[in-house]
Amino acid sequence: LIAFVTETSLVFLMTLYLQEVLGYSALSAGLSFGVLGIGTIIGGSLAAKVIGRIGTKSTLITGGLLQAVATAALFGLGDDRSWMWLLLAGTFLGGIGNMLVIVGFMVTATSGLPDSEQGMATGLATMTQQIGITMGTPIMSAIATGHIAGRTTSGAVLDGVGLAVLINAAIVLAGTLLTALFLR
């Protein structure tokens, strides 16, 4: 749930940043997320090897920490295009971490169950993903726009996006800590 609440809403926040603060077109902003896509492909490709080497719980924690740090780094984005490197690096690394969490979650959710319960477990796991996707953008956009509150400058948008990015990273970190403490 947390993996999908946070990473999908981050795309919205970074779109807002790219278009409203840096002045990129919708097409240019969208194309920049190809780097995030490459990160998720790499994370998905590495996940089975990482799980095989360190186990699912450690993969969930490692992926969550990577996603949290990469997301928190985006708080440092500035108001000129020279900060594009940070956005690309942060979304790339966050994508890797996010996919480690997603694959680790699916393996955890479906492992050790009898064959007759695999479908139900997969359905429940998939349902949490859909709920996360549905909740993430409205929550993070409410945080960002609530902080912007009537101010129309790019600095106000940057402040609102920055606050939402920090909360996003804190949610990822909280989920990672809960995993570390309570997942057996």
Residue 159 lies in a domain: yes
Residue 182 lies in a domain: no
The residue type found at 33 is: F
Cα 184 off chain centre by? 24
**What total of structural domains would you count in the chain?**
1
Residue 121 lies in a domain: yes
Residue 31 lies in a domain: yes
Residue found by looking up tokens 């919708």 in the block: 26
Q: What's the confidence (pLDDT) of residue 154? A: 80
Q: What's the confidence (pLDDT) of residue 149? A: 86
> What DSSP designation does 20 have?
I
Check: CB of residue 14 under 8 Å from CB of residue 74.
yes
What radius of gyration do the chain's Cα atoms show?
17
**In sequence order, what DSSP letters do the residues of 92-154 get, joined into one string?**
HHHHHHHHHHHHHHHHHHHTT--HHHHHHHHHHHHHHHHHHHHHHHHHHHHHHHHHHTT--SH
Q: What's the CA gap between 102 and 63, in Å, rounded?
A: 9
Per-residue pLDDT of the chain (184 residues; tens, 9 = 90+): 899 999 999 999 999 999 999 999 999 999 999 999 999 999 999 999 999 999 999 999 999 999 999 999 999 999 999 999 999 999 999 999 999 999 999 999 999 999 899 999 999 999 999 999 999 999 999 999 999 988 878 899 999 999 999 999 999 999 999 999 999 8
Check: CB of residue 125 under 8 Å from CB of residue 70.
no
Residue 183 lies in a domain: no
Residue 102 lies in a domain: yes
Residue 168 lies in a domain: yes
Question: Residue 105's domain spans which residues?
Answer: 2-177
Q: What's the CA gap between 103 and 109, in Å, rounded?
A: 10
Q: What is the CATH number of the domain that holds 21?
A: 1.20.1250.20
